[in-house]
């Protein structure tokens, strides 16, 4: 993900965690490099997760919106809509 | 043949069939148990004495073809909390009672000679109270198996294990599920109330019974279809719950920093993934268990499951998030097999799995066994089942254990253990714990949905703003759902898909030939809460009891490092409706 050419700084490291059905055919957790300016929605698109399937986005253990820009060392967790109790 | 009230007097071992008074006709489930307890039980009575009453009531839709309508409510004054109590469970008994047109079963009094136990046997011809010898002291799986063999494979069974017989106040009441396994009226120690009445079991055989009456069957069918459609369309009830069960929440709450760990010290557990819903599903499938399973006929959500050991032998079912959190993260145990064994023992001896999980956390805090000691937990549960002196201290609840060992980090409200969501980092559920009419209970107003899961909107879990209103609205809606006898998980589609509530109202109208509106349902929920609250006030509770334990105010919970900051007067606004 370093080939977009928009970056004028060093790449950022993002840990991406997937849960429930999002893990199927993907992964549970991985740390990858992304260009500065990467937003949450870019990662969702990269993983080919349809946006309507997203139930919850947590960035560093807080709820976040897809257009949020990421910073180096961020911890991103993506969940489908789930519940229990 | 109209619906009736069946009243059983254990003082003189008699029973009576009564007409349903007008004031109770529009009620069922929790609405009815709370109305009966509030009218007939003196609020200041001893919960294990002859003046308390144990009431069972199927919901308004029980026994009908409506999906998710098989919940049974049990109510009494709770010996654990001293408040009014309603605890509902799946299994077959609600449908069995409804098919015999028994709207409520009231068990009152207590035998003067307390050396004997009894069984209550109900069928279409009437009710018999028989002295029981063989099953006394036996555990629930054996009791259910024996009664099925002697009465019939489809008989409804309500039973207590040795913990209930010994009247320990964390005792539950077990209900036979469609496969002969166990569901539980878990919270509030109702098993001890049943034990105090000297009732070991109740069987309900509905064969040859009149069945359930539906006044407008065609209209009912259309509404039931729309209701089922909404349930299956919503991602939580249609996909998430059937796939991973409620245990999908381990990873969710861990990520949100709200998974109480090491007796509520931290909000995250290092071993979370090993006990998660994702791992559990893989394990169940690899061992030939069932990843989905319904707790009653007509359940289309199927959040239960059958968990097997490495040899593929049945261990437990109805293996819930709260149990797995509690024996898992709360006790720092990361072995799902040990947690499953614990769940099996708890069902078998008849003790609430949430209270037990909180008990074990406090027992570890006390140094009885170290954190992380799985075999130690199994050993302590056996001590409870055997009624050893230590077992009796433990079996009387987390608050009792905390007192016995002089501890302050004792997570209870009104004497009842706080379940699987830290109130410091999920503040809406903290309001529910504080204000619920029944002590700490997440199911009374599940603010986790809106605080964490973003179902029904979003209210920031770390801020106080909006939490009281959220909890109030949810508690009102829950009291109404608990009255219908529908599984609470219908709230997930109801919060997001407006047709769900319309369909529920239509089903009620078609079944009873009445003209309810959505507003009536809200009014019903409010009235149930106010009835319960009035009972508690008369029992001596005040708003000073609507508070969380002090340590939540003072100890920050990582990773958010937040404390509980809601002021008393803010919490007290809850009752302003």
What are the C-alpha distances in Å from B359 to residues B82, B113, B326? 18, 32, 9
- C-alpha to C-alpha distance for B303 and B262, rounded to whole angstroms: 27
CB B369 within 8 A of CB B376: yes
C-alpha B338/C-alpha B307 separation (Å) is: 12
pLDDT value of position B219: 96
8 A C-beta contact, residue B76 and residue B53: yes
Whether residue B243 lies within 8 A of chain A, CB to CB, comes out as: yes
B457 touches chain A (CB under 8 A): no
Can you tell me the distance from the alpha carbon of B29 to that of B42, in angstroms, rounded to the nearest whole number? 21
Among A20, A77, A83, select the one facing B278 at the smallest CB separation: A20
Residue B1, pLDDT > 80, answer no
Among A56, A77, A83, select the one facing B492 at the smallest CB separation: A83
Q: What is the mean pLDDT of residues B295-322?
A: 95
Please, what's the b/e burial string for A8-19 (b: 16 or more CB within 10 A of its CB; e: otherwise)? Answer: eeeebebebbbb
Helix (H) / strand (E) element for B127: namely strand B126-132
- Distance, CA of B577 to CA of B565 (rounded, Å): 23
Cβ of residue B264 closer than 8 Å to a chain A Cβ: no
According to the model, what pLDDT value does residue A5 have?
45
> Is the distance from CB of B175 to CB of B157 less than 8 angstroms?
yes
> Nearest CA of chain B to the CA of A41: how many Å?
18
Strand partners, B261: B266
* B246 touches A: beta carbon within 8 Å: yes
Q: Which residues of A touch B (CB under 8 A)?
A: 17, 19-21, 23, 28, 53, 55-56, 58, 61-63, 77, 79-85
Cβ neighbours of A58 in B, within 8 Å: 255-256
Instruction: Answer yes or no: is pLDDT of B513 > 90.
Output: no
Q: How many residues does chain A have?
A: 85
Pairing of strands B102-108, B156-159: unpaired
DSSP label of B331: G
Would you say residue B161 has pLDDT above 80? yes
Mean pLDDT of B496-511: 95
pLDDT band at residue B484, thresholds of 50, 70 and 90?
Answer: very high
Q: Please give the Cα distance from B239 to B54 (Å, whole number).
A: 37
Residue A9, pLDDT score: 81
Category of B407 on φ-ψ map: left (φ > 0), alpha (ψ -120 to 50) or beta: beta
Instruction: Please write the tens of the pLDDT for every residue from B174-211.
Output: 999 999 999 999 999 999 999 999 999 999 999 999 99
Query: Above 50 in pLDDT, residue B487?
Result: yes
Closest partner CB to A19 (pick from B246, B278, B446): B278
Q: What is the pLDDT of residue A8?
A: 62
Nearest CB to B240: which of A20, A28, A61? A20
Within 10 angstroms of residue B343's Cβ, the number of other Cβ atoms is 26
Mutation target among A23, A74, A79, A82 for the B interface, most CBs of B within 10 A: A82
Question: CA nearest B489 in A: which residue?
Answer: A84
Work out the average pLDDT over B217-223. Answer: 97
Which residues in chain A have their CB less than 8 angstroms from residue B461's CB? 63
- Minimal Cα–Cα distance from A11 to chain B, Å? 25
Q: A4 pLDDT exceeds 60?
A: no
CB contact under 8 A, A56 and B452: yes
A81/B278 touch (CB, cutoff 8 Å), yes or no: no
The whole-number average pLDDT for the span A25-48 is 97
Q: Flag whether the ipTM exceeds 0.95.
A: no
Do A14 and A76 touch, CB atoms closer than 8 A?
A: yes
Pair of tokens at residue B464 = 């106080």
On the question of pLDDT at B481 being above 50, the answer is yes
Report the pLDDT value the prediction gives residue B100, as an integer from 0 to 100.
Answer: 98
Q: Are B489 and A81 inside 8 Å of each other by CB?
A: no
- Looking at CA atoms only, how far is residue B385 from chain A in angstroms? 27
- Mean pLDDT, rounded, for B442-464: 96
**Residue entry with tokens 């599984």:** B487
- Checking if the pLDDT of B77 tops 50, the result is yes
The partner residue sitting opposite B321, judged by closest CB among A56, A61, A84, is: A84
Helix intervals (H) in B152-209: 162-165, 190-196
For residue B493 the two structure tokens come to 């589609």
Residues in chain B: 577
Predicted confidence at residue B519, as pLDDT, reads 92
Q: What is the DSSP letter of B119?
A: E
> Which pLDDT belongs to residue A19?
97
Contact criterion met (CB < 8 Å) for A85 and B449: yes
Give the pLDDT band (50/70/90) at residue A85.
Answer: confident
Distance CA B492, CA B488 (A): 8
Is B257 in Cβ contact with A84 (below 8 Å)?
no
How far is it, in rounded angstroms, from Cα B281 to Cα B276?
A: 9
Distances (CA, A) of B247 to B322, B469, B570: 8, 27, 32
Which letter does DSSP use for residue B112 in this model? Answer: S
d(CA B314, CA B317): 8
- Using the Cβ of B324 and the Cβ atoms of chain A, whether some distance falls under 8 Å is answered with no
Q: Is residue B132 pLDDT above 60, yes or no?
A: yes
What long-range pairs does A39-44 form, CB within 8 A, spacing at least 24?
Answer: A39/A66, A39/A67, A39/A68, A39/A69, A39/A70, A40/A64, A40/A65, A40/A66, A40/A67, A40/A68, A40/A70, A40/A76, A41/A66, A41/A67, A43/A14, A43/A16, A43/A70, A43/A76, A44/A78
- % of residues, chain B, pLDDT over 90: 98
Q: B433, B442, B454: which to substitute to probe chain A, counting the most A Cβ within 10 Å?
A: B454
User: What global pTM score does this model have?
Assistant: 0.97
Q: Of B240, B251, B255, which has the smallest distance from its Cβ to A61's Cβ? A: B255
DSSP A11-75: -EEEEEEE-GGGGTTS-SEEEEEE-TT-BHHHHHHHTT--GGGEEEEEETTEE--TTPBP-TT-E
Which pLDDT band holds residue A6 (cuts at 50, 70, 90)?
Answer: low
Give CA–CA dist A82/B445, Å, rounded: 18
pLDDT of residue B348: 98
Q: Which of A61, A63, A81 sits opposite B240 (nearest CB)?
A: A81
Report helix, strand or coil for B371.
coil
Residues of A in contact with B248 (CB under 8 A): 19-20, 82-84
Distance from CA of B171 to the nearest CA of A (A): 21
Contact B240/A63, CB-based, under 8 Å? no
Q: Which residue of B has its CA nearest to A24?
A: B278
Contact of B560 with chain A, judged by CB distance below 8 Å, is answered with yes
| CA nearest neighbour of B123 among B151, B85, B165, B87 | B151
**CB-closest option in A23, A53, A83 to B241:** A83
Please report where in the chains the tokens 């071993």 appear, as a residue: B271
What residues 364-393 of chain B have any CB closer than 8 A to a CB of chain A? none
Average pLDDT, chain B: 97
């Amino acid at each position: 993900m370093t080939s977009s050419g928009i970056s004028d700084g060093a790449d950022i490291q993002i840990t991406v965690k997937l849960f429930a059905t999002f893990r199927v055919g993907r992964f549970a957790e991985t740390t990858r490099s992304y260009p500065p300016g990467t937003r949450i929605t870019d990662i969702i698109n990269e993983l080919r997760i349809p946006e309507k399937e997203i139930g919850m986005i947590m960035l560093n253990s807080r709820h976040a919106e897809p257009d949020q820009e990421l910073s180096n060392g961020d911890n991103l967790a993506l969940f489908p809509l789930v519940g229990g109790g | 043949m109209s619906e009736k009230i069946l009243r059983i007097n254990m003082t003189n071992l008699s029973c009576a069939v009564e007409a349903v008074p007008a004031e109770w006709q529009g009620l069922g489930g929790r609405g009815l148990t709370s109305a009966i307890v509030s009218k007939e039980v003196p609020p200041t009575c001893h919960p294990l004495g002859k003046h308390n009453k144990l009431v069972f009531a199927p919901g308004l839709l029980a026994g009908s073809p409506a999906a998710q309508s098989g919940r049974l409510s049990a109510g009494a004054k709770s010996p654990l909390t001293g408040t009014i109590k309603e605890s509902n469970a799946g299994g077959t008994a609600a449908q069995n009672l409804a098919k015999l047109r028994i709207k409520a079963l009231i068990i009152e009094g207590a035998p003067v000679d307390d050396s004997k136990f009894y069984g209550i046997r109900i069928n279409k011809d009437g009710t018999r109270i028989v002295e029981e010898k063989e099953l006394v002291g036996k555990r629930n799986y054996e009791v259910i198996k024996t009664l099925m063999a002697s009465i019939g494979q489809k008989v409804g069974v309500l039973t207590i294990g040795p913990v209930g017989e010994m009247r320990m106040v964390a005792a539950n009441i077990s209900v036979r599920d469609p496969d002969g396994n166990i569901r539980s009226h878990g919270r509030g120690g109702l098993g001890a109330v049943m034990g105090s009445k000297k009732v070991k079991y109740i069987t309900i055989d509905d064969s040859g019974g009149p069945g359930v009456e539906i006044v407008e069957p065609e209209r009912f069918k259309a509404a039931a279809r729309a209701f089922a459609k909404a349930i299956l369309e919503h991602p939580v009830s249609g996909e998430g719950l059937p796939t991973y069960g409620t245990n999908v929440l381990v990873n969710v709450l861990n990520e949100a920093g709200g998974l109480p760990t090491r007796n509520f010290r931290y909000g995250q557990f290092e071993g979370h993934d090993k006990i998660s819903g994702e791992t559990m599903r893989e394990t169940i499938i690899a061992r030939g268990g069932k990843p989905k399973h319904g707790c009653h006929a007509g359940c289309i959500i199927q959040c239960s499951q059958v968990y097997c050991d490495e040899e593929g032998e049945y261990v437990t079912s109805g293996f819930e998030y709260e149990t797995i959190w509690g024996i898992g993260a709360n006790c720092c145990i990361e072995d799902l097999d040990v947690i499953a064994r614990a769940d099996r023992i708890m069902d078998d001896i008849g003790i609430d799995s949430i209270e037990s999980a909180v008990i074990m956390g406090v027992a570890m805090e006390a140094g009885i066994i170290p954190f992380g000691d799985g075999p130690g937990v199994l050993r302590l549960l056996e001590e409870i089942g055997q009624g050893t002196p230590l077992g009796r201290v433990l079996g009387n609840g987390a608050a009792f254990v905390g007192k016995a060992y002089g501890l302050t980090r004792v997570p209870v409200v009104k004497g009842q253990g706080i379940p699987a969501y830290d109130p410091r980092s999920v503040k809406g559920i903290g309001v529910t714990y504080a204000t619920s009419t029944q002590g700490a209970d997440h199911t009374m107003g599940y603010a986790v949905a809106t605080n964490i899961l973003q179902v029904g909107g979003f209210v920031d879990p770390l801020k106080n703003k909006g939490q009281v209103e959220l909890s109030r609205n949810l508690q009102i809606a829950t009291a109404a759902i608990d009255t219908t006898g529908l599984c609470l998980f219908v709230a997930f589609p109801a919060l997001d898909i407006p047709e769900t509530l319309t369909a529920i109202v239509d089903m009620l109208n078609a079944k009873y030939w009445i003209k309810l509106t959505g507003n009536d349902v809200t009014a019903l929920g409010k009235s149930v809460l106010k009835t319960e609250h009035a009972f508690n006030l008369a029992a001596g509770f005040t708003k000073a009891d609507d508070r969380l334990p002090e340590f939540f105010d003072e100890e920050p919970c990582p990773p958010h490092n937040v404390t509980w900051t809601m002021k008393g007067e803010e919490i007290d606004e809850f009752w302003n409706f």
